[in-house]
Amino acid sequence: MEEHKNVFTPTIKDFFYWIAFIMLPLFIGSVAIIRHSFWWFLFYLVIIAGGVMGLWYQFICTGCPYYKRSTDTCKCMFIWGLPRFYSAKNRPYRLYELILGYAGIGVIFLYPLMWLVFQPLLLFLYLISVSLFIITIVRYECARCAHTDCPLNKTPTQGRNA
What is the value of pTM for the model shown? Answer: 0.80
| Percent of the chain with pLDDT strictly greater than 90 | 30
Catalogue the E-assigned strands of the chain: 73-75, 80-83
Mention every residue, 6+ apart, whose C-beta is less than 8 A from residue 21: 133, 136
pLDDT of residue 41: 96
Mention every residue, 6+ apart, whose C-beta is less than 8 A from residue 77: 10, 14, 15, 17, 18, 66, 141
The region of weakest confidence among 37-51, 53-67, 107-121, 142-156 is 142-156
Alpha-carbon distances of 13 from 10, 20, 79, 81, 124, rounded to whole Å: 8, 11, 12, 13, 29
The pLDDT of 99-112, averaged and rounded, is 89
Integer Cα distance of 32 and 47 in angstroms: 16
